Amino acid sequence: MRYFCLATAILVLGFASTAMAHFGMAIPTTPVVEDQDEATVTVELSFSHPMEMAGMSLAKPKSVHVVVDGVAEDISSTLQSAKVMEHDAWSVRYTVKRPGVYAFVMEPEPYWEPAEDCFIIHYTKTYVAAFGEEEGWDVPVGLKTEIVPLTRPFGNYAGNVFQGRVMLDGQPVPNAEVEVEYYNRDGKYAAPNEYMVTQVIKADDNGVFTYGIPFAGWWGFAALTTSGEQMNREGEDKNVELGAVLWMEFVSPASK
C-alpha cells in the first residue's frame, strides 16, 4: 500500500511488515429513516483498521456537525464516550425531525503515527436519508477534503458500482489515491492475503474513482493527500496526511 507520508519499512522478526490502512469511521444505527420510531439516530465515531478489526483510540473529536440543505449544525456538545474494538471511541445522538438528507461529519484532532512519521487527520462523513427525501447528496458539505458522491450514498445493493469525486479545498484532486476497506464487524470474512485487506484505486484526471461493491455491509473509502502545511512535533516539522473518508452501507435484497 502506498502512503503519502514518509514511508517507513519495519522489520519484525526478520520479516517485512506492510502497514495497515487507517480509517476514521462514522457508522449510524441506520442510513435510512422511514418512520418516527427510527428518527433518533446514533452515530458511532472511531478510528481503526476496519477489515482486520484492529482498533485505535480516538481522542475527543475537534468537531461533529450534521449538514442538511446546506446548513451545518454543530452537535459536538452531544458527544458521549464509547468503546469500539476495545478502544476509546465516541458517539452522537441526533433526532431527525423532517425529510432531508443528513450528512454527519467528524473532524478529529490530529493523530500522530510514529510508523509513518506524520500526523493524520481524517475528515469523516456518512449520510442518513429521512422520510423519502433524496435531494442534495451530491453537493459538497464544505470540508477541507471530502469525497463527493456521484452515486447516491444510500439505498444501494451489494454488487452496485459506486463513483465519487475527491475534493481538496473545493477543487477536484487529479489522480488521487483511494483506499477501500470493509467493516468486518462480525468477523465474517478473512482476507486471503495482505494485499486483499485494503483495496486501492486511482482517481482519474477529474478526481473521479469507481469501485464495484463485492458483498453486503459497511464500506469505507479514504482518499489520501498530503497537506501543504506541516505540524510541529518535538521541535521538528512533520507532514500531515489528510484523509477524505466516506462510509456507506450496501445491502442484499430481502427475500419474500
- Alpha carbon of residue 219 to chain centroid: 9
- β-bridge mates for residue 55, sequence order: 48
CA–CA separation, 89 vs 92, rounded Å? 11
pLDDT along the chain (256 residues), means of 10: 40 39 95 94 97 96 97 97 96 96 98 94 98 96 98 97 97 97 95 96 98 97 95 96 97 81
Q: Considering only CA atoms, which of 129, 161, 164, 124 is closest in space to residue 148?
A: 164
The CATH number assigned to the domain with range 20-251 reads 2.60.40.10
Q: How many CB atoms lie within 10 A of CB 73?
A: 11
pLDDT score for 89:
97
Residue 80 contacts by C-beta under 8 Å, 6 or more apart in sequence? 90, 91, 92, 93
Collapsing DSSP states into helix, strand and coil, what is residue 11? Answer: strand
CA–CA separation, 190 vs 165, rounded Å? 29
Q: Considering only CA atoms, which of 108, 119, 120, 106 is closest in space to residue 247?
A: 106
